[in-house]
Amino acid sequence: MAVTEREGVIKFTLDHELADASLIRAFSGFEALNPCRSTLWQLGVLGQDDSRYEGLGYGNASIRTPSPDYPNAFLITGTQTGYLSQLSAEHYSLVMDFDLQQYYLRSKGPCKPSSEAMTHAALYQRLPDVVAVIHGHSPAVWNSAHRLGLACTAADVPYGTPQMAQAIQDLLGDGEPPGSTIVMLGHEDGFITWGNSLENTLEKVNSLLEDAS
């Protein structure tokens, strides 16, 4: 039964079915996504710090994994897994379907999906060639957004909300904004980057950090 999640940081209506980690390992994208996530943790764009963001974990990553049964599917890191330096299949969720208008998401796996899963969904829906999405946190990137010419959501748009998903799609319009990155001014230090491969998306994150330093 679907319930609206209010605990923690998930803000959408989530219909989640618990399933064994073998479900996650069955998707080839997991073998690429998991080491990428470890690299992002080492870079510090995702993680957990008691002195930041009220101690909540931050950052997440996903990869598109469509199938005949679930054409909109993607794998994404689980909610509040940022404190772990390395993840296993137990820490991922398969998003099977979503409805941005109803702000509803259906998932399956050993844990619930990241609180930013709807923002990832908004990107995948609008940009069919996108294969991977990375949401990270970097004070340097966030504070350099205008200098770097990055597209930004408004400061009054909070993370994980219908307004954020809509703001992302509004910025995308009929194509990608310059740089394939959006900075979330209403989500402290937050940015989201995407690409046509996981490797390409990780390269963009590295370039952002270098340009902002």
How does pLDDT run across 184-209, given as a tens digit for each residue? 999 999 999 999 999 999 999 999 99
Give this prediction's pTM.
0.92
Q: In which domain, by residue range, is 91 found? A: 3-212
DSSP, collapsed to helix, strand or coil, labels residue 182 as strand
The CB density around residue 34, as the number of other CB atoms within 10 Å, is: 21
pLDDT tens profile 120-173:
999 999 999 999 999 999 999 999 999 999 999 999 998 878 888 889 989 988
pLDDT tens profile 46-75:
999 888 888 888 999 999 998 888 888 999
Task: Give residue 115's pLDDT.
Answer: 86
- The model's confidence at residue 1, banded by pLDDT at 50, 70 and 90, is very low
CATH number for the domain that contains residue 74: 3.40.225.10
Q: How far apart are the C-alpha atoms of 150 and 179, rounded to whole Å?
A: 7
Domain count within the chain? 1
What are the angstrom distances between the C-alpha of 141 and each of 77, 129, 134, 153? Answer: 22, 25, 14, 14
